[in-house]
């Protein structure tokens, strides 16, 4: 039986939805992801734990935020080590 998992996305995380969605699609190829104004949704079938998927969606979104916000700092550190 199919179920819909919805994750409401806080305003400050909206800029990261697109790249997080790309990663989620790769990690869960059998799940149909979609976005709405301020939410990520997923249509899941049998064999997928909806609560675990929702947790993974939130984690991936926050992980993308951290990645993008620290990218410049990591580049500067690498540049300092290489030069």
pLDDT digits (tens, 9 = 90+) for 8-49: 999 999 999 999 999 999 999 999 999 988 999 999 888 888
The CATH code of the domain that includes 17 is 3.30.70
Q: Please, which residues bridge with residue 8 across strands? A: 39
**pTM score:** 0.85
Element (H, E) at 18: helix 17-27
Question: Which parts of the chain fold into alpha helices (H)?
Answer: 17-27, 50-82
Domain that holds residue 17: 3-82
For residue 57, give the nearest of 29, 30, 23 by alpha carbon.
23
């Amino acid at each position: 039986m199919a179920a819909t998992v919805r994750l409401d996305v806080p305003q400050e995380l909206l800029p990261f939805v697109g790249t997080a969605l790309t990663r989620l699609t790769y990690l869960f190829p059998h799940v149909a992801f979609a976005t709405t104004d301020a939410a990520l949704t997923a249509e899941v079938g049998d064999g997928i734990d909806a609560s675990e998927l929702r947790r993974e969606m939130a984690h991936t979104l926050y992980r993308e935020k951290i990645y993008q916000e620290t990218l410049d700092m990591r580049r500067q550190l690498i540049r300092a080590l290489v030069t």
